[in-house]
Amino acid sequence: MKKIEILGTGCKKCNDLTELTKKTADSMQIEYEIEKVTDILKIIEYGVVATPSLVVDGEVKISGKIPSVDDIKKYLS
């Protein structure tokens, strides 16, 4: 099971990344749990300075922008 975290303050881009990631993971038929992390201290622990950020299994995959569906698939594979 993949552990997916969306780091951000709850802005529109953060919500868009959450929905796009869910749809992509569902289309790939993978098991996952997704968590929205809004606590600024937890976000800083990842070394992230720009949101939204996508974290998969504890590793920051992208930060500061919404990736393409193809990129999300690559990050989840």
Which pLDDT belongs to residue 10?
87
What is the tens place of the pLDDT at every residue in 8-41? 988 999 999 999 999 999 999 999 999 999 999 9
pLDDT mean across residues, the chain: 96
**Catalytic residue status for 14:** yes
What residue ranges do the domains of the chain occupy? 2-76
Q: Taking the mean position of all CA atoms in its chain, how far away is CA 36? A: 8
Q: Distance (Å, rounded) from C-alpha 49 to C-alpha 20?
A: 21
20 is catalytic: no
Instruction: Identify the active-site residue in 10, 11, 35, 49.
Output: 11
Mean pLDDT of 57-62: 98
How many CA atoms does the CB half-sphere of 37 hold within 13 Å? 23
User: What CATH number belongs to 2-76?
Assistant: 3.40.30.10
